Structures are given as C-alpha cells and as structure tokens.
C-alpha cells in the first residue's frame, strides 16, 4: 500500500509504471514524500525538475509540480526556476549517469553558483534505462553490457568532489533505511543553498553486485561527525568500505538568489513582475 498520501499521483488504474518490481526508486520516492510531510509541505509548494533516465521518471509518479527535462540538464533548469520564483521548494533529480556524466559540467558549476535548490542523485552504480552499461560510479572490475571484461576506470567520488568545491551541503543515504533517508532529504531541503544528496538505490535488473544486501553490509551511518570541518568531511568521503552515510559537510554562504541584483530592492518573484514588453504594450494601449 502506498504511503504517499496527498503526494500520490492522480492516475487511472491502468497506468503503467516503468520501474521494475523491487526497484530502489520506489523506497526513494516514498522517502521523498515522507520528507515533504515532515516539513509540512503541500504538493503546490514543490517543483521537481528531472533529467533523463529511470530516476528522472519520478516526476510522473509523485504529485508535485514537475518538469521532465533534457539529459543532464535538470540543474540549470531548476536553478532558473528557483531564481524566477524563490518561494518554491525546487528539487533537481537524476541518476548517477544523468547527473555525473551528461550533467557533470552542470553539477560542477551548480555548486559554484549555489542556487537554493536540492539536488538528489539516484545512485545505483549502473545505467538502468539503457540496459546495464557502466556508469561514472560503477565499481572497478565489475562486468557490464559494455565492459564485458570488467570496468577499469576509477569510479567518480562525487561526495569528495562536492566537498573540495566547497558545496553548501553534502550528504549521502541509502534507501533501504527510508526513515533515515527521509530525514536527510528534509535537512537538505531546509538548508539554504545548493544541497547535494546522493542516495544509494539498487537496480534489481542490471546491477547484480550492488544489491540491497550489499548496501546493508557495506555502509554505515556516521556518528558524532562534525559537518563544519571540511578536512574531516573530506577524509570521511574518501572511505570506501564500509561507505559512510550521513551529512558530510555544511558550508553556509550566500545563495545565488541572495546575490541577484534584482532581489536587492524588490522581493517580488521575477515571474510576477511586469516585463518591458508589457510596459510598452500598456503605453501603446493608453496612447494610440
């Protein structure tokens, strides 16, 4: 039975869900809805922007404002949306391939820009939509459809990368612990600034290595960790077996929206302001 409540999408009974039975995207979606409930948010308070991939289909399966965008482009679109309407809770979502490969450049510069958005990366360590190719986070030695002799490239450590780039908020969780994942997501949404949340979630069809059992046995929740200490946060991010979960790093700084000159004197959202074209049209209507 679904626990989404008002975040349950309105759909006919015959609606076909693209995710496989047992997919880690289901508990991730439930954790996301739980986080919204924790924060007393309504569906109309939230806008989710996604890229391309199985993870990106989440906008179709949760009842909020949603925009299914281009491959790797969720972050710039989410940033523009937040800039035009700072009152919205804006979330960018995508898989490890979508966010770290096709969208890798936007991930880097999104951190620099520090828009007040939450970036959720569904990390199943494989390309799921295109049937099991190695992704930027696939482990070395793992055999995939495009690396039949084993992956020989080092996996991307996006948590360490985000910390080095001085990201505003950096965290990781595992969807097998839905309550903890919901709490991490809620903290990220509450944080003012660019919040990076990497979520381990198994791909039951194309990744037979990083299973629910594997994540349970190879991860642990950090205790008594100081997220304000950058060097300790980086040290924890470099641990790889077991893999730490939790909030690694918090760096409070001005957001992109706070730095925008258009909001220095006027807090009216950009989409509510009269454009120059509107002013010209009004002038013509009044005088001719």
* CATH number of 135's domain: 3.40.50.970
Confirm whether 144 is domain-assigned.
yes
Is the CB of residue 269 less than 8 Å from the CB of residue 83? no
Residue 6 has what pLDDT? 86
Is the CB of residue 114 less than 8 Å from the CB of residue 196? no
Distance (Å, whole) CA 148 – CA 82: 42
Residue 244 has what pLDDT? 98
pLDDT at 280 over 60: no
Residue 52: exposure state from Cβ atoms within 10 A (0-12, 13-18, ≥19) = buried
Residue 12 has what pLDDT? 46
97-118 average pLDDT score: 96
Domain with 47, as residue range(s), is 5-259
Is the CB of residue 33 less than 8 Å from the CB of residue 62? yes
Confirm whether 280 is domain-assigned.
no
Distance (Å, whole) CA 188 – CA 117: 9
Q: The pTM is what? A: 0.90
Write the secondary structure of 84-121 as one string of H (helix), E (strand) and C (coil): HCCCCEEEEEEEHHHHHHHCHHHHHHHHHHCCCCEEEE
Confirm whether 282 is domain-assigned.
no
Distance (Å, whole) CA 231 – CA 234: 5
Confirm whether 155 is domain-assigned.
yes
Confirm whether 265 is domain-assigned.
no
Confirm whether 274 is domain-assigned.
no
Confirm whether 91 is domain-assigned.
yes
pLDDT range class, residue 4, cuts 50, 70, 90 = confident
Confirm whether 136 is domain-assigned.
yes
CA separation, residue 267 to residues 241, 271, 272, 279 (Å)? 47, 11, 10, 20
Helix (H, G, I), strand (E, B) or coil at 180: helix
Distance (Å, whole) CA 31 – CA 217: 21
Domain count for the chain: 1
Phi-psi region of 275 (alpha: psi -120 to 50; beta: other; left: phi over 0): beta
């Amino acid at each position: 039975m679904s626990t989404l409540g008002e975040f349950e999408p309105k759909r006919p009974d015959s609606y076909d869900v693209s995710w496989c039975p047992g997919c880690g995207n289901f508990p991730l979606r439930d954790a996301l809805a739980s986080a919204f409930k924790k924060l007393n948010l309504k569906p109309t308070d939230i806008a989710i922007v996604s890229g391309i991939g199985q993870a990106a289909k989440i906008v179709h399966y949760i009842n909020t404002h949603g925009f299914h965008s281009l491959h790797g482009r969720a972050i710039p679109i989410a940033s523009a949306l937040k800039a035009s309407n700072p009152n919205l809770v804006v979330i960018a979502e995508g898989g490890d391939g979508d966010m770290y490969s096709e969208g890798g450049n936007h991930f880097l510069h999104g951190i620099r820009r520090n828009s007040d958005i939450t970036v959720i990366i569904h990390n199943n360590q494989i390309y799921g939509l295109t049937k099991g190719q190695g992704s930027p986070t696939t482990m070395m030695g793992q055999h995939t459809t495009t690396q039949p002799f084993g992956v020989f490239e080092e996996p991307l450590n996006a948590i360490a990368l985000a910390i080095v780039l001085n990201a505003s908020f950096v965290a990781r969780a595992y969807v097998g612990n839905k309550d903890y994942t919901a709490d991490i997501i809620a903290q990220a949404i509450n944080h003012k600034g660019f919040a990076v949340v990497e979520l381990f979630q198994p791909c039951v069809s194309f990744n037979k290595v990083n299973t629910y059992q594997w994540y349970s046995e190879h991860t642990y929740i950090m205790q008594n960790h100081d997220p304000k200490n950058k060097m300790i946060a980086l040290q924890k991010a470099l641990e790889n077996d077991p893999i730490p979960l939790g909030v690694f790093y918090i760096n409070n700084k001005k957001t992109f929206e706070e730095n925008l000159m258009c909001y220095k004197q006027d807090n009216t959202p950009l989409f509510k302001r009269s454009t120059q074209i509107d002013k010209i049209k009004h002038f013509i209507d009044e005088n001719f």
